[in-house]
Amino acid sequence: MKYSLKELVDIDKLQELTDELYIITSVHSAIIDMDGEVLTSSGGQRICTDFYRQHPQTLKECIKSNTKIRKNLYTAAPFVIHTCPRGLVYASSQIIIAGEHVANVFSGQVFLEPPDKTKEQFFREQAQKFGFDETEYIKAFRGIPICTEKKFRAILSFLFKFAQMTAQLGYTRLNELESLTALQENEKRFDLNSRGKAIFDEIGNPVRMVGCTRDIHEQKSAEEALRKSEANFAEAQRIAHLGSWEWDIITDEIQLSHEAYRIVGLDPQKMKLSLDDFIDVVHPEDKAYIREQIDKIRNKEMDEGYEYRIVHSNGDVRHVQSFGKIFLNKNGVWEKMIGTVQDITDQVQRELQLKESDDRFKRLLNSLNDVAWAADLDGQLLYLNPAAESVYGRALSKLYANPEFWIEMVHPEDREKISWEAEHLLKNGKVESQYRIIRDDGKIRWLNDKKTVVYNDAGDPVQIGGIARDITTEKIAVNQNKKFMYELGERLKELDCMYKISNSIRLSKTLDQIFEDVVRFIPPSFQYPESTCCRLRFGKKEYISEKFKKTPWKISSDIIFSNQKEGEIEVFYLKESVFDETPFLKEEQNLINGICQILAEACQQHKTQKKIAQINSTLNLHSECNKIIVHAKNESDMINSICRIIVEKGNYRYAWIGFAGQGKEKLIIPSAQYGCGEGYLDNLNVRWDDTELGRSPIGRAIRENTPAVSQQISSDPNFSPWRKRAGKRGFRSNIALPLSFEHHIFGALSIYASEKKAFSAKKAALLKEIANDLAYGIMAIRASEKHRNIKKNLQSERNKLQSVLNGVGDSVHVINKDYTIEFQNNVSKDVFGELQGKKCYKNFFQMDEPCEFCLLQESLSENRIQHLETNFTDQKRYDIVFSPFQESDEKMKSVIVMRDITEKNRLQAEAMRAGHLASLGELAAGVAHEINNPVTGIINIAEILIDKFHELGGDKKIPERIVHEGERIGNIVKNLLLFARDKKEEHSPAQINDILTLTLELVERQLLKDGIHLSVNIPSDMPLIKMRRQEIQQVFLNIISNARYALNKKYKNPHENKILEINGEIIESGKEKYVRLIFYDRGLGIPKKLVDKVADPFFSTKPQGEGTGLGLSISHGIIKNHGGNLWFESREGEYTKAMVNLPVNNGWQSKKEI
């Protein structure tokens, strides 16, 4: 810019204004141009000038803060507020003239709330830290003004408007200087002031004039500039909504500037006001406050500023703010007060809105359990929510007083990481970290801190904020979980050791093998396996692990059973330097105690192993016998196998099974044997009666139905008939066990041992169980054999019946009352597939519930044969017969025979059609003969008349019309003869348009008579199709006839919707082309459930006597024979579409082509 700010405005006047503002508010302010020259400066804090700006480190922080303010000045905000690292608040606003930033207005160096003792202690620590004179430094600290945030923002608003006013004055002055420069360049003007005095002669006449002339151009320019400056100042006041006033305290007169008049809403023509006039415009609720302030001023008490409301004459309420300064007269008396008044209504409203928004946001943040915080880029704390007190364990005031608290409280081990993240926060934009803090009470807490940089509209960072959540509980849980997992791992090692040792015992290893496993398994299960060794001593034997060495660090446990110490386990640690005290855990001592207990039990088990082996042998014998009984296929194999198993698994000498004969002699008949008894049963002659030959153990067992034992065959008198042959084979004792089932005794099992007294009571009881199971198995096989024979006979009869049913040419089914198909013959399977176990209605008719027309339940309930005919989903018609019967379980079922009568009905339809056509042919021939002769005469006469009229020059229109109508009658008769001709015509190429035209000639007059509007839209370029014309004509006639019937039923008289539309088109399906004709009528329509049945033979929706139900069925067959398809779409009561698709190339060849 060509001019500096001090050349454009009156710096002295600005200094006076900022001085008065300082007197009123005690808040420092200054104007500094862009070259760093201080143009005005009012006030100033010693703590900044005498201390902070004198120490290199604090000066660096001050420069950093100023740089940040200058950087943020270029945002859209009217002013920028900043808090320095010591907590002093100051702000700045720009002065822009003609779009150029020429200077800045600074204000501040205040506290927004009174500092407490904690804050003062912080400043004392700062004095010690930087080497300041603590006494002077604290005195300067206590001299820092305290200004509420509301008041500070009001001062900033004033300074912002002051900056605007300064800019406006500067801009006006700039224009004046530029205009003056231009004027001076164009012309030179002089302003002169002349004074003179007349000189008179002796008689009093003026003779000359003496005087001087002075150049007053500069004076005039100054006066003009002053006038314009005052006008500009007034305009600047108006722009800034800032007025000035003067109150004469002695006379109570008040003088206002023009802007002040506008602000208070009074008439500016009234240049002087009384104090009462002013009080009259004050809001009623604020008048007492104003009078109170006036009284305080009169009593020489004065506040810094005043906020109150003014009520304009139109009822508009405005918020204003006044600042004033007292002036004394020469006697020191308070004479007047001069000040400013500013309209702050917009500011108050914005502050209210902002406060409401802030309150909502603060309530939200205050409700959080997590710490919400905000700080400026220097780390100066701007906000903390109440949750910080519970998390950090300090009062909020202490936290605010020491902005460095957050890093001071960080755990020393985490500080380096947190410092690095803080340095990189601005670069990354956001950081999330977890770290520990140490509270004043010594407690350590874990925090999860999410930090985010806040940017202004220009994309520059302005502050940082974040949410810190106390995750101590979660961390403790995680650590506890880690500890638990470690301890669990140790316990798992111990359990693994116990499991391996138990498994060694379970595998029935010898004691030597078990003890060797023990010393191998113990070291890996201890806390330090690489430094552990083990020794086990049992009796006179010793077992040691690898690298065994005795050391002073040992734990041991004794192996005790039968109340005696039989051995011990010792565990040693090898590395002496590893441990200050005992290296063993109590869990490890418990482990070897448990192992010793297990080993004691193992020794006890080995001691009784022989007894257990004997019991297991018997149990194993029982088990093996049961397996044979369960899996046996026939009796002979089973009883022989039982004898074998008893001998082999039971370690017996011989076993045999005999059945009780039912003759008079009551012989016991041997049926199975095994063992060292070859020839023993030959001519044995043993009975079960009460005779000498019936007193053997087996005889008594059968007769008395109880086990019989001979513990010493050589001395048993009852065994004397067989003693010799038994002795030869080494039989020393014998037991016989009865075979009985449901109190019926049918035989016995006899077992021989090579030892005397081999059958104790326990063994006898176990063998008795084997005999009982054997008896049950024998009877089960016999019952199974009997059942198999019965089943075989039944299956034979069933096969015969099934052969008969399969030989029937119809589908036969057995269906129960739940509609489940239990049987179907081969014919049914071929037609319908495998349906046994499925519902008949779902698989025959694709319905989700029983059919309405079904007679199954009626047939079952009345126990009589029922009969019906119905159509299936494949368009076939079946005759169904329901024949009920009762099963052996007394449940009613039905044999259902389904006969396909589709072909039968078709033949009937063809026969009827042939009859109809024959009758029609005879009628058509007679009619043709009777009509053609007179019509020919009529045409001939009409042609004669035409010739005559031609000769005589008469009107030929009437005879020509007679000829035309006669020929039309002839064509109708010809078409009727063609349609009625009963012969199988050959297929030939034809156009669908021609066939439809011939058909319409037969019915067109009927349609016209019925009032049916006919619309035909078929392209003329339809391709030729090989077809039988008569058959296709018959299809079209049937469809048109049905449409006519439906339209006449719906509309008895002519109607605008009584329409039949016939449209044609060529379509493609896959690689084939088709000609499609659509017959669309707006008649009665067809019910949805009947649409699929209209092409069934003998099905008709017409009343009895009005239709045969064959027309569409025959038409469907004709179209199908031509390789096409016929189907219907309909909505009941609205319309019906009959659609015909005929392939352009149906594969037929004419005789000529062949």
Share of the chain above pLDDT 90, in %: 18
Cα distances (angstroms) measured from residue 966 to each of 4, 452, 692, 1004: 119, 103, 132, 17
Q: Using alpha carbons only, how large is the chain's radius of gyration in Å?
A: 63
Q: Average pLDDT, stretch 618-638? A: 86
Q: Average pLDDT, stretch 539-555? A: 89
Q: What is the pLDDT of residues 715-743, one digit of tens each?
A: 999 999 999 999 999 999 999 999 998 88
pLDDT of residue 721: 93
What's the burial of 976, exposed, middle or buried (CB within 10 Å: 0-12/13-18/19+)? Answer: buried
Q: What is the pLDDT of residues 81-140, one digit of tens each?
A: 878 878 888 788 888 776 677 788 888 888 888 888 888 888 898 888 888 898 888 888
* Contact call for residues 267 and 281 (beta carbons, < 8 A): no
Helix (H, G, I), strand (E, B) or coil at 407: helix
pLDDT of residue 979: 52
pLDDT of residue 58: 82
pLDDT over 50 (residue 997): yes
CA distance 161 to 727: 139
Strand pairing of 708-710 and 733-741?
antiparallel
Closest by Cα among 428, 64, 372 to 420: 428
288: confidence class by pLDDT, cuts 50, 70, 90:
very high
pLDDT over 80 (residue 645): yes
Length of the chain: 1154
pLDDT over 60 (residue 271): no
pLDDT over 60 (residue 947): yes
Least confident of 223-227, 347-351, 573-577, 906-910: 223-227
635 bridge partner residues: none
Stronger pLDDT, 1100 or 843, i.e. the higher one: 843
* Contact call for residues 584 and 555 (beta carbons, < 8 A): yes
1153: confidence class by pLDDT, cuts 50, 70, 90:
very low
HSE-CB of 127 using CA atoms within 13 angstroms: 18
1037 token code pair: 């006639």
Q: Average pLDDT, stretch 331-335? A: 81
pLDDT of residue 614: 66
605 token code pair: 């088990």
CA angle 816, 819, 823 (to 5 degrees): 55
Tell me the whole-structure pTM to 2 decimals. Answer: 0.29
Q: Average pLDDT, stretch 497-526? A: 88
pLDDT over 70 (residue 186): no
pLDDT of residue 462: 83
* Contact call for residues 1130 and 1086 (beta carbons, < 8 A): yes
Q: Average pLDDT, stretch 661-683? A: 91
**Which of 222-226, 359-363, 812-816, 1093-1097 tops mean pLDDT?**
812-816
pLDDT of residue 1152: 45
Q: What is the pLDDT of residues 571-613, one digit of tens each?
A: 998 876 444 456 778 888 888 999 999 888 888 887 777 666 6
pLDDT of residue 578: 47
Q: Where are the alpha helices (DSSP H) in 562-633?
A: 586-607, 609-631
pLDDT of residue 749: 95
Q: Average pLDDT, stretch 875-885? A: 84
Least confident of 68-72, 387-391, 657-661: 68-72
Least confident of 374-378, 538-542, 972-976: 972-976
Domains and CATH numbers, the chain: 5-179 (3.30.450), 242-349 (3.30.450.20), 370-470 (3.30.450.20), 478-607 (3.30.450.40), 632-788 (3.30.450.40), 808-898 (3.30.450.20), 901-983 (1.10.287), 987-1154 (3.30.565.10)
Q: Average pLDDT, stretch 747-751? A: 95
pLDDT of residue 1062: 93
pLDDT over 60 (residue 234): no
Instruction: Please give the mean pLDDT across all residues of the chain.
Output: 81
Closest by Cα among 601, 521, 588 to 557: 588
pLDDT of residue 342: 87
Residue linked to tokens 């496993």:
517
pLDDT of residue 718: 92
375: confidence class by pLDDT, cuts 50, 70, 90:
confident
pLDDT of residue 923: 64
